[in-house]
Amino acid sequence: MRTYDPPGVPMTRHFPGVILLTLAAGTVSSWAAAPAGPQPSPLPAEHLTIATVGPKSPHWVYVVDYAYANEIDSRVYLFDGDTYRRIGQIDTGFIPGVNLSPDGKTTAVATTYFARGGHGTRTDVVEFNDNNTLAKTGEIVIPPKHAQTLAMLFTVAYSSDGKFVYTPYLTPAASFGVLDPARKKVLSEIDTAGCTLVFPWGPNRVSSICESGRLLTVTLDAQGKEASRTSSEPFFNPDQDPVFAQAVPLPDGYAYVSFLGQVHEIDFTQPKLVMRTPWSLVSATEKGTWRPGGVQIGAVHRSLGKLFVPMHRGGDGSHKAGGTEIWVFDLKSHQRTARWPIDTKELGSVIAVQVSQDAAPLLFAATETANVLVLDAQTGKMQHVEKKLGQTPQLLLNP
């Protein structure tokens, strides 16, 4: 509006509304100073302020609401698991990728906008938001082919030193972009031979998952260009027992969980990926009946070495069904240490889990009916139910 020069309408004429306001402001301020009436003395005039985010708490959670029925209007709610209040909001556009910088100071949003709301020229961007002010601080325009898919941590991601940002592309040709968040520019686009998504490791390695059951790993040079690529041995069979693409981050790599509950832990810390011996979430008798499912299908507490998985009774094709229970596993012994049933009639089944990384951890669980549950991650005790936190919350991130 500031840049538009209205044809022949001087802006100085006729503001009945604002004129009254002006009088009000003038007159009221004098009254506020005037002697008080009968006791108790009148309430003082209040001052409008802008709230600040305040000191970060490990019990905060970023809740990504994909708003399926209004998909151009997805957003992130920053929610406090102790006070059960919203701290603020970050707008995230259309089928976004959302991730935090390694230092937690920035939220990166890879998303799509249209020139006319839901139609018109498509512009894809990675937007950067300051987590201390929840204000947008900048953006990088990327090729208009951001991979628009299921909520997960791998549709935008940072390198471990925060110097690169990776964004998967799909046209349907698969590739990914390497961005420089400091200089706000696109450094390169790297073809992934049909492998997809970005699983980052270290300062300069990006893996993508392939239909062959392998991981393709690209190593970047200092300019963000491809230096080399290697392909792992196959570690799963997409026909017999596919793994969820939404891997679970481990202290030293990622765990790829299969539809039937096999856990494929992969050590990313070595020059070549090291596939550990797979282990199972389910017993021989449970196998095929009890299954992991949902969207964000696992979360790990790193120092406690615990894995949390929403589980349900299902069959072929039930891999997106939410959990009727949350199962807890010890990552060393691979033993199940607890199973916590959820009142799914009342709350809905659990489609996403996240756990805070502190010593008194909270388990956050989003349900298919848009409730966000807050549980004690050590006892499973339900602390709070935040009803209807948005429309379709499906991804939970730690601060």
Which residues would be at the binding site for a second copy (CB under 8 A)?
A: 1, 4, 6-9, 11, 13-18, 67, 69-70, 72-73, 91, 93-94, 111, 113, 115-120, 122-123, 125, 127, 136, 139, 143-145, 169, 171-175, 188-189, 191-194, 211, 391
Task: Look at residue 41 and give its three-state secondary structure.
Answer: coil
Q: Considering CB under 8 A, how many residues would be counted as binding other proteins? A: 94
Looking at the Cβ atoms of 111 and 354, the one nearer to a second copy is: 111
Cβ distance 336 to 375 under 8 Å? no
Q: Choose among 284, 262, 289, 261: nearest CA to 275.
A: 262
Residues 132-171: x where in contact with other proteins by CB under 8 A, - otherwise, as a string: -xxxx--------x-xxxx-------------------xx
Residues 280-319: x where in contact with other proteins by CB under 8 A, - otherwise, as a string: ------------------------------------xxxx
* Partners of 125 in beta bridges: 111, 141
- Of these partners, a second copy, other proteins, none, which one is at the site of residue 4 (CB under 5 to 8 Å by kind)? a second copy
Residue 233 near other proteins by CB under 8 A? no
Euclidean distance between CA atoms 120 and 295, whole angstroms: 30
Residue 251 near other proteins by CB under 8 A? no
Q: How far is the CB of 243 from a second copy (least distance, A)?
A: 16
Q: How far is the CB of 332 from other proteins (least distance, A)?
A: 28
- Of these partners, a second copy, other proteins, none, which one is at the site of residue 243 (CB under 5 to 8 Å by kind)? other proteins
Cβ distance 118 to 136 under 8 Å? no
Looking at the Cβ atoms of 34 and 222, the one nearer to other proteins is: 34
Strand order in the sheet with 165-170: 157-158, 165-170, 174-180, 185-191
Q: How far is the CB of 8 from a second copy (least distance, A)?
A: 7
- What tokens were used for 268? 């990313």
Q: How far is the CB of 339 from a second copy (least distance, A)?
A: 36
Cβ distance 131 to 107 under 8 Å? yes
Q: How far is the CB of 144 from a second copy (least distance, A)?
A: 5
Looking at the Cβ atoms of 67 and 304, the one nearer to other proteins is: 67
Looking at the Cβ atoms of 197 and 355, the one nearer to other proteins is: 197
Torsion of CA 202, 206, 211, 213, to 10 degrees: -20
Q: Choose among 118, 77, 78, 116: nearest CA to 94.
A: 118
- Of these partners, a second copy, other proteins, none, which one is at the site of residue 150 (CB under 5 to 8 Å by kind)? other proteins
Cβ distance 339 to 326 under 8 Å? yes
Please give the C-alpha separations between residue 235 and each of 152, 257, 258, 277, in angstroms, as whole numbers: 21, 11, 11, 10
For other proteins, the binding residue among 245, 304, 382, 385 (CB under 8 A) is 245
Q: Whose structure tokens read 């306001």?
A: 21
Residue 72 near other proteins by CB under 8 A? yes
Looking at the Cβ atoms of 197 and 250, the one nearer to a second copy is: 197
Strand order in the sheet with 196-201: 196-201, 205-209, 215-220, 226-231
Q: How far is the CB of 279 from other proteins (least distance, A)?
A: 20
Looking at the Cβ atoms of 369 and 398, the one nearer to a second copy is: 369
Q: Choose among 46, 14, 67, 43: nearest CA to 388.
A: 67
Residue 196 near other proteins by CB under 8 A? yes
- Of these partners, a second copy, other proteins, none, which one is at the site of residue 222 (CB under 5 to 8 Å by kind)? none
> CB within 8 A of 373, min separation 6: which ones?
342, 347, 350, 363, 364, 365, 366, 367, 382, 384, 385, 386
For other proteins, the binding residue among 57, 58, 91, 102 (CB under 8 A) is 91
Looking at the Cβ atoms of 363 and 371, the one nearer to other proteins is: 371
Looking at the Cβ atoms of 31 and 203, the one nearer to other proteins is: 31
Euclidean distance between CA atoms 295 and 298, whole angstroms: 9
Q: Whose structure tokens read 């959670």?
A: 61
Euclidean distance between CA atoms 354 and 326, whole angstroms: 11
- Of these partners, a second copy, other proteins, none, which one is at the site of residue 51 (CB under 5 to 8 Å by kind)? other proteins
The window from 28-36, 265-273, 326-334, 374-382 that contacts other proteins (CB under 8 A) reads 28-36
Task: Look at residue 207 and give its three-state secondary structure.
Answer: strand
Task: Look at residue 310 and give its three-state secondary structure.
Answer: strand
